């Protein structure tokens, strides 16, 4: 068989391209510590792609806008929205956090031994009304008592000890906080810069990636990319849309119920909703807790509202916004979240579901392709 045999050339091409992909994989694994910023930039570029495409389709004097101009316009709008956020939202968040701090200080200052005994008596009466008698022995009873005075003294002693031990480290702590803030600002601008490079040269990057794919597999890769895009767009863009809807509905419900710190709690619910399943559960705990502190009716109302919002999200928003093709089984989501958190911490948890969407898209494509080939093989026989 000569070296010019088509099958030999095809095998040689597969070996070379396979070696190149293996080299890329080895580089990514070897430098995995720096992969996350580039993954974040790629995700931002992916989110901006539909908007950038729409802007480039606008024709001015028979000329379409260049992609770099579209990215600049998007970034200008982003920084303007960020400015409005710091101008309008951050002061409200600061006021509510300061209000929580003042309430906590007032509660601590007013928690005298007499007031602690009153709280203890009220708690014992409430438990006794529900069949839990503190201090009694026997079935259905709880041994012990609520000694709030002891808890108060121990708490005050622990706080004072902590302050004495860490007061000398205030300068170090301040330096660490400033360094972390500066590092965060630098990383944010770095990620945005890389995302701009990804967005502006998206066509060139796609052409280069296609050049590393054997021609006989081009159609399969195109279908695979289409499936991944359908799944990923639903998970990423759909989840962001649902987060915003969740935050708005939570704020409206808490405001109508008169729950304290409604704006702060709604903002927290919006941010935590970026992490599916666990984020919604975690954000519900402080909402219900603060509502219960205002009365059991308010607490039940807040709980019912939150359950209603999550039911609306699960049975209406998810199918309408994400679509059935983008939905991932909750078990896979839970596994991906835990694996991402254990591997890369909080950042890994944020990227876990998009990565899972890509993996599920690849898995389903290969499974359906294998089934199709098996059916064709059986029909051929």
Domain of 4?
1-30
Number of folded domains that form the chain: 2
pTM score, whole prediction: 0.65
Q: Is the pLDDT of residue 92 over 50?
A: yes
**How would DSSP label each residue in 215-259?**
GGGHHHHHHHHHHHHHHHHHHHHHHHHHHHHHHHHHHHHHHHHT-
Q: Is the alpha carbon torsion for 286, 290, 293, 297 positive or negative?
A: negative
Q: Is the pLDDT of residue 199 over 80?
A: yes
Is residue 314 assigned to a domain?
Answer: yes
With beta carbons less than 8 A apart as the criterion, state whether 254 and 265 touch. yes
User: What is the C-alpha to C-alpha distance for residues 233 and 258, in angstroms, rounded to an integer?
Assistant: 37
Is residue 176 assigned to a domain?
Answer: no
Is residue 157 assigned to a domain?
Answer: no
Stronger pLDDT, 199 or 322, i.e. the higher one: 199
Span 25-79, pLDDT tens digits: 898 888 877 888 888 898 888 888 888 888 888 877 777 788 888 899 999 998 9
Is residue 262 assigned to a domain?
Answer: yes
User: What is the C-alpha to C-alpha distance for residues 149 and 121, in angstroms, rounded to an integer?
Assistant: 12
Is residue 62 assigned to a domain?
Answer: no
Distances (CA, A) of 334 to 117, 278, 352: 44, 8, 9
Span 322-363, pLDDT tens digits: 555 556 777 787 888 888 878 877 777 778 888 888 888 888
User: What is the C-alpha to C-alpha distance for residues 75 and 55, in angstroms, rounded to an integer?
Assistant: 13
Is residue 341 assigned to a domain?
Answer: yes
Q: Is the pLDDT of residue 249 over 60?
A: yes
Is residue 80 assigned to a domain?
Answer: no
Q: Is the pLDDT of residue 218 over 90?
A: no
User: What is the C-alpha to C-alpha distance for residues 265 and 185, in angstroms, rounded to an integer?
Assistant: 25
Span 139-178, pLDDT tens digits: 444 444 445 556 655 665 666 666 566 555 555 666 676 7
Between strands 63-64 and 59-60, the pairing is: antiparallel
Question: Of 235, 237, 210, which Cα lies nearest the Cα of 49?
Answer: 237
Is residue 220 assigned to a domain?
Answer: yes
Q: How long, in residues, is the chain?
A: 381
Cβ neighbours of residue 323 closer than 8 Å, sequence gap 6 or more:
230, 234, 238
SS3 104: helix
């Amino acid at each position: 068989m000569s070296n010019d045999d088509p099958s030999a050339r095809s095998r040689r091409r597969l070996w070379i391209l396979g070696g190149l992909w293996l080299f890329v994989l080895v580089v990514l694994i070897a430098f995995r510590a720096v992969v996350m910023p580039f993954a974040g930039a790629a995700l931002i570029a992916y989110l901006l792609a539909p908007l950038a495409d729409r802007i480039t389709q606008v024709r001015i004097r028979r000329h379409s806008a260049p992609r770099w101009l579209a990215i600049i316009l998007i970034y200008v709008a982003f920084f303007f929205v960020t400015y409005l956020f710091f101008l309008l939202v951050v002061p409200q968040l600061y006021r509510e956090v300061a209000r929580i701090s003042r309430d906590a200080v007032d509660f601590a200052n007013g928690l005298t031994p007499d007031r602690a005994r009153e709280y203890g008596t009220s708690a014992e009466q409430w438990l006794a009304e529900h069949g839990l008698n503190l201090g009694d022995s026997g079935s259905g009873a709880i041994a012990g008592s609520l000694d709030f005075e002891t808890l108060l003294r121990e708490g005050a002693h622990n706080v004072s000890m902590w302050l004495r031990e860490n007061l000398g480290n205030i300068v170090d702590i301040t330096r660490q906080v400033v360094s972390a803030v500066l590092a965060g600002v630098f990383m944010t601008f770095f990620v945005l810069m890389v995302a701009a490079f990804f967005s502006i040269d998206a066509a060139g990057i796609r052409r280069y990636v296609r050049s590393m794919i054997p021609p006989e597999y081009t159609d399969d890769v195109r279908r695979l990319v289409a499936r991944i895009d359908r799944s990923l767009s639903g998970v990423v863009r759909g989840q962001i849309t649902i987060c915003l809807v969740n935050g708005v509905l939570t704020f409206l419900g808490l405001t109508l119920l008169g729950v304290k710190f409604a704006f702060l709690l709604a903002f927290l619910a919006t941010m935590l909703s970026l992490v599916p399943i666990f984020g919604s559960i975690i954000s519900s705990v402080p909402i219900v807790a603060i509502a219960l502190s205002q009365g059991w009716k308010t607490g039940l109302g807040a709980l019912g509202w939150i359950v209603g919002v999550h039911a609306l999200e699960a049975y209406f928003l998810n199918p309408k916004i994400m679509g059935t093709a983008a939905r991932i089984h909750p078990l896979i989501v839970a596994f991906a979240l835990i694996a991402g958190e254990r591997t890369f911490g909080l950042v890994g948890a944020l990227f876990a579901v998009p990565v899972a969407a890509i993996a599920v898209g690849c898995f389903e494509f290969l499974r359906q392709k294998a089934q199709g080939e098996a059916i064709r093989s059986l029909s051929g026989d």
